[in-house]
Structure 1
């Protein structure tokens, strides 16, 4: 694989040298292949495709099909997407609920013994990023990936802060800044994989090392990207338990 701009065919060839059944239709990725004596299911988005209600339903159905089998098959969520599809039709149909449903199916799969790993190899942003890659137990990236929760011009429109001020803040505060390195610093991305090492071995190692609980807040604190998120989240949980 190359050091940057890795393509989905390259990823699939590296994961499944013996062949696979993964297909791409309308930018939606679905299928599986042989992996460590069993199977690895793959869903995702390719080609910088926007995620709308139809796509969210299809991907959610694929995840639920894996869960129904009940065999513990891991699920890899491979992502090179645009943001959510912000068309009038999708918004009127309740796009936010469809995205939430997709995220919940991934959480359900994880709770039923299907390890979920996100792999971002291209672009992703906003609701599409949150409902797919960030809904997995752990997210890793390949060099050249460009994730963001919200680009800075959009942040400027929402917060009413000048773009140049946000750009200055982003240099010191990773939560304001898009990009793979900043996502690593905040703990959202666990690690950047090495394109010179076999991808299948690295994904297998990620699955074997999956944490029992969500460690992203702790990673954000340790890496200096979100120094107080862990403390605040813990306080909220304590307050909720106290009623």
Structure 2
């Protein structure tokens, strides 16, 4: 789904979300309350400039509209793979974006992520995965690493990883697998405005991804191992 159709289905034809290059932003009215929208489009590569632009919107919302909810619309191919961005410190720019989102949550802003098209790699980690809850459209594409790259990193044969991906969501791309692992809370179907309304009202403010992954069978050990660490003397 393109961002214009999504914004219209969520907020009506006069939604107020605008595009500046790969950046989406706007102040909208939803159920009579203001909401800040931040996002990316066209499978945006997240470089230094785009990460800092998104962070600026988050900081301005905290300064000018304390407590206002934020909706992150996610469509990214991951971090910008360019020497210029590496030299400028893309890791620090993306960390800055993530810390701004985390600070907004700590200051009482409701922060929701919605993967409406594609979410890959670090561009997803520093946005939707830091929100109070990250949801997705059923047709979205989500993955952190392709199997060939995973094979190079883990030194395991790609054929073995492909076999493991058939039964273990940790090794497999796809929005359904991220729901099973708890990284995506739920899929938005039907009336998208109703789905946003439900998310604003009921999405958890604490991190429940490990518990959700255990309950759904996608990550069976993460929650129990984390609890053992917490309980250790």
TM-score (normalizing by structure 1): 0.92
Distance 2:230 2:46 in 1: 32
The CA deviation string for residues 40-95 of structure 1, in whole angstroms up to 9 with x for no partner, is 11111111110001100000010111111243211110011111001111112221
Q: Is the 8 A contact 2:101 2:131 kept in 1?
A: yes
Distance 1:87 1:81 in 2: 15
| 1:43-62 pair list within 5 angstroms | 43-62=38-57
- Find out whether 1:220 has 2:225 as its counterpart: no
The CA deviation string for residues 14-57 of structure 1, in whole angstroms up to 9 with x for no partner, is 12116232111221111121112111111111111100011000
How has the CA–CA distance of structure 1 residues 212 and 134 changed in structure 2, closer, same or farther, with 3 Å as cutoff? closer
Q: Is the 8 A contact 2:132 2:205 kept in 1?
A: no
Size of the aligned set, in residue pairs, is 233
Q: 2:106 aligns with which of 111, 118, 121?
A: 111
- Structural RMSD (CA): 1.3
| 1:85-164 pair list within 5 angstroms | 85-164=80-159
Distance 1:102 1:235 in 2: 31
Q: Is the 8 A contact 1:44 1:132 kept in 2?
A: no
Deviation, 1:236, is: 2.8
Deviation, 1:210, is: 2.1
| 1:5-84 pair list within 5 angstroms | 6-17=1-12, 19-84=14-79
Deviation beyond 3 Å, 4+ runs, structure 1: none
- Secondary structure of the 2:41 match is strand
Distance 2:200 2:231 in 1: 30
Distance 2:62 2:56 in 1: 10
- Secondary structure of the 2:43 match is strand
Distance 1:175 1:147 in 2: 12
Distance 1:233 1:94 in 2: 32
- Secondary structure of the 2:37 match is strand
